Amino acid sequence: MNCQECQAAMLNVLAAAGENLPPEAALHCQACSSCRESYRKQVTLFGAIDLGIQSLVNQEIPGSLMRRVQVRLSSDTPKALFWTPSSGTALFAAATVLSVCLTLFLYGRGNLENAERPDVSVSIVTTSKTPAPPLEKTATAAVLSRKSTHARALQIRTGTAEPEVIVLAEEREAFTKFVNALPRETNVAVALTRPAPASTDGPVEFALLRISELEVKPLEGMPSD
Amino acid sequence: MADFVLAQSEQRFRRAIAPESATVFRRSELERLLAENASLAYRVALSVVRNHPEAQDVAQESLLMAYRKFHHLRDAQRFRSWLVRMTFRLALDRKRSARRREARETSWAEPDFRPPPQSAEELAASREFQERLDRALEELPRRLRLVVILNAIEGHTVGEVAELLAISPGTVKSRLFRARKFLAEKLL
């Protein structure tokens, strides 16, 4: 290792805040007085750099700083009181307007439909395969009324004012839950309560196949009925 | 004084999936946050502008800017990092305009006739060294300079600097190494 390589190694070690020179550089320094002197200078230099920067940045904070900031803050109000997407203020505004319009549209549509149809109510009549106590044979589990907000959004076409649903006693609890959940699950409700399309399929009749030349004989050896 | 409410989201992604994760800051809380970080802002500013009144101006400006633009910050946990970067940028701008002023009003410093320093402390205390260190720091690329400054401020560890700048500790170590080598080569 020559002096130049040794000094480069010193620089790398000290820049990495290391303390020990590589063995080759250390051996060279033992033999070379100029490199030893250079190493001493570099250690002093790095020490001075660290001290210089530390003394530069860690100076006393003037007490007036926060007072001045407080004075400015008291006369200042942040522009936005609520968080908004930093890059999409316009997008945020557009989404807000759109949601308001949609809400108004749905509200108006619901009102219109409610005005056109009578009160919708569902009575649940329960029956049982097994004999049940007379009081439980008929029970009203839930009522959907147009006064309910959720029910307003439903588009249930009902033929009669009070349709009756026959429910088995053992299924009554599950059905009550279903009726309670119905206003929240509008898609399911609409699908389930929509009247089935009128069936155009009638019974199909097939004519008997008759072949005039065909003679049917019983098989030989087989007893005939 | 009215108690304004500043709503600050954690992250857009988190907000999208969990709106309740949004952090709500009251004005008093934000002021407390600013007061806690005022010294950091001041020291970052001072390390660049090298002048107490100017550093105070820069720190004040950056704290006010942080207050006004707090709603732009996506993650409140990154407040310190955001403030440091903002202060550093403001200080650099201030330094640049000050340099233009200095170029117009050239001042002649008294020559330093003290004997050559022997120890690191003596060397660091000499005016000539301080001036050279100032110049070397100014020549240091911005990213390296910010790491060196933050590492020196209040004895921040490599991990703390990494957290402040939202970079990996390995990157901090690498930048510190390059910065120290650069400074030593300039000052040798």
pLDDT at B77: 77
Q: Do the strands A164-168 and B5-8 form a parallel or antiparallel pair, or are they unpaired?
A: unpaired
Res. A221 pLDDT band, cuts 50 70 90:
low
A64 vs A70: CA distance, rounded Å:
10
Out of 1.10.3730.10, 3.30.1490.150, 2.60.40.1180, 1.10.10.10, which CATH number does the structure's domain B119-188 have?
1.10.10.10
A110 neighbors A153 (Cβ within 8 angstroms): yes
pLDDT at B117: 59
A residues 190-219 near B, CB within 8 Å? none
pLDDT at B20: 40
User: What 3-state class would DSSP assign to B132?
Assistant: helix
CB contact under 8 A, B12 and A85: yes
pLDDT at A120: 46
> What letter represents residue B95's amino acid?
K
User: Minimal CA–CA distance to A62: which of B127, B90, B60?
Assistant: B60
With CA atoms as reference, the chain A residue closest to B174 would be A16
ipTM: 0.71
Residue A142 phi, psi dihedral angles, 5° rounding: -155, 155
**Across chain A, which distance is largest between two alpha carbons, in Å?**
131
Interface size A-B, in CB pairs within 8 Å, comes to 151
A66 touches chain B (CB under 8 A): yes
B29 neighbors A39 (Cβ within 8 angstroms): no
Q: Which residue would you say has higher pLDDT here, A55 or B104?
A: A55
Task: Tell me the mean pLDDT in the region B40-57.
Answer: 87
Does B13 score more than 70 pLDDT?
no
Helix, strand, coil tally for chain B in percent (to 5): 75, 5, 20
With a CB cutoff of 8 Å and minimum separation 6, the contacts of A13 are: A19, A20, A21, A22, A25
Residue B23 phi, psi dihedral angles, 5° rounding: -95, 135
CA angle B127, B132, B134 (to 5 degrees): 95
Res. B7 pLDDT band, cuts 50 70 90:
very low
Tell me, yes or no, if the pTM score tops 0.80.
no
A43 vs A10: CA distance, rounded Å:
9
Q: Return the H-helix or E-strand segment holding B6.
A: strand B5-8
CA A94 to chain centre: 22
Minimal C-alpha gap between B35 and chain A (Å): 7
B99 vs B40: CA distance, rounded Å:
24
CB contact under 8 A, A53 and B12: no
Residue B31 phi, psi dihedral angles, 5° rounding: -65, -40
pLDDT at A138: 41
A84-133 pLDDT tens trace: 445 567 778 888 888 888 888 888 777 666 655 544 444 555 444 444 44
CB contact under 8 A, A57 and B46: yes
pLDDT at B181: 92
Task: Tell me the mean pLDDT in the region A149-175.
Answer: 61
pLDDT at B162: 92
pLDDT at B10: 41
pLDDT at B123: 77
Are domains B26-104 and B119-188 of this chain identical in fold?
no
Q: Out of A22-36, A100-114, A151-165, B173-187, which region has the weakest mean confidence (pLDDT)?
A: A151-165
Domain limits of chain B? 26-104, 119-188
- Please provide the CATH number assigned to the domain covering B26-104: 1.10.1740.10
User: What 3-state class would DSSP assign to A164?
Assistant: strand
pLDDT above 70: percentage of residues in chain A: 60
With CA atoms as reference, the chain A residue closest to B63 would be A69
- Sign of the Cα torsion B47, B50, B56, B59 reads negative
From residue A193, alpha-carbon distances to A128, A187, A198 in Å are 23, 10, 15
CB contact under 8 A, A61 and B149: no
